[in-house]
């Protein structure tokens, strides 16, 4: 009995499959259409996984505003099917969720806790909350809320903020990045090992079922995060702050979505390092990758 990982070709899914090794069975859009209820039920009944970690999601935040039906099918309907069959098999379901559930402002005065009431805005955020509610229909559920994922440099398929800033810094005389959204970008290897800890190595969690915030620690803005990326990369490129309104994205973004990770750390799992330390770890591995490529 293995652990089924959906979205296995994505940043988090790929890392979980690497971490779990032979214990993992990965599926992605090319092997299982999660919006097809019959296919989901047939596949899981055949595999009888001892747990399911659901990483697959519709994450194109802006496109979701004009593609709401597809977004809801992936972020809600698929979770309903997984929860149904996990309940039938008595298998834990781990649902990956997002800081976008909180459309608050810095006036809150503290990071968001698991028992705070979500107030999502935008199609993506609303469907992720509905996905949480669908996952909670499975008695054995773990909902992990996280933020701003970026994968190991070795994951060449990954698309994330760090890679985007590195690409732009190589080609642009200056960068302009939003500086009025406070959050905590999270390094995927740290998140993956935390998820495995919460779930338990044998797929049976010793942690209470429910919601856990798991991000790197501290907080920053996307502009400050970009400046640290540029600095660690050794680029002499200015990063200018802009307001969210200047960015003019189709979908709304949270002004303050820092998550309180106290509940996770009380479990005694691997400590989530600070966001600067995590980024430093990324660049240390990137250096190793580049040195090996140059040999």
Please tell me the predicted confidence (pLDDT) of residue 5: 98
Catalytic residue among 58, 124, 150, 282: 124
Q: Are strands 93-98 and 141-146 parallel, antiparallel or unpaired?
A: parallel
In a domain? residue 113: yes
Total tally of structural domains belonging to the chain = 1
Read off the pLDDT of residues 27-67 as tens digits, 9 standing for 90 and up. 999 999 999 999 999 999 999 999 999 999 999 999 999 99
CATH at 75: 3.40.50.720
Please tell me the predicted confidence (pLDDT) of residue 204: 55
In a domain? residue 222: no
In a domain? residue 243: no
In a domain? residue 121: yes
Which range of residues forms the domain containing residue 78?
3-152+184-215+260-272
Q: What is the mean pLDDT of the chain?
A: 95
In a domain? residue 295: no
Read off the pLDDT of residues 167-189 as tens digits, 9 standing for 90 and up. 999 999 999 999 999 999 999 99
58 catalytically annotated: no
pTM: 0.95
In a domain? residue 204: yes
In a domain? residue 227: no
Read off the pLDDT of residues 223-245 as tens digits, 9 standing for 90 and up. 999 999 999 999 999 999 999 99
Please tell me the predicted confidence (pLDDT) of residue 201: 64
In a domain? residue 70: yes
């Amino acid at each position: 009995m293995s652990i089924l990982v959906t979205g296995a070709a994505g940043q988090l899914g790929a890392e979980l499959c690497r971490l779990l090794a032979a214990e993992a069975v990965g599926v992605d859009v090319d092997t299982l259409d999660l919006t097809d209820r019959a296919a989901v039920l047939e596949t899981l009944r055949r595999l009888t996984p001892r747990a399911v970690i659901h990483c697959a999601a519709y994450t194109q935040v802006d496109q979701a505003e004009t593609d709401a039906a597809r977004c809801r099918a992936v972020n809600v309907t698929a979770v309903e099917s997984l929860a149904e069959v996990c309940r039938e098999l008595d298998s834990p379901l781990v649902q990956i969720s997002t800081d976008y559930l909180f459309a608050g402002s810095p006036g809150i005065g503290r990071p968001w806790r698991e028992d705070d009431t979500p107030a999502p805005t935008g199609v993506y955020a609303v469907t992720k909350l509905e996905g949480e509610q669908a996952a909670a229909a499975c008695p054995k559920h773990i909902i992990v809320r996280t933020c701003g994922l970026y994968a190991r440099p070795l994951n060449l398929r990954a698309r994330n903020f760090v890679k985007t800033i590195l690409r732009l810094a190589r080609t642009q005389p200056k960068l302009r990045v939003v500086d009025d959204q406070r959050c905590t970008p999270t390094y995927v290897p740290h998140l993956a090992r935390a998820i495995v800890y919460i779930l338990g190595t044998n797929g049976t969690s010793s942690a209470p079922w429910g919601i856990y915030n798991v991000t790197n620690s501290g907080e920053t803005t996307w502009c400050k995060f970009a400046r640290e990326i540029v600095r660690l990369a050794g680029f002499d490129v200015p990063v200018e702050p802009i307001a969210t309104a200047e960015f003019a994205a189709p979908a709304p973004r949270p002004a303050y979505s820092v998550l309180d990770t106290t509940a996770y750390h009380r479990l005694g799992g691997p400590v989530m390092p600070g966001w600067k330390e995590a980024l430093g770890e990324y660049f240390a591995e990137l250096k190793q990758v580049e040195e090996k490529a140059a040999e």
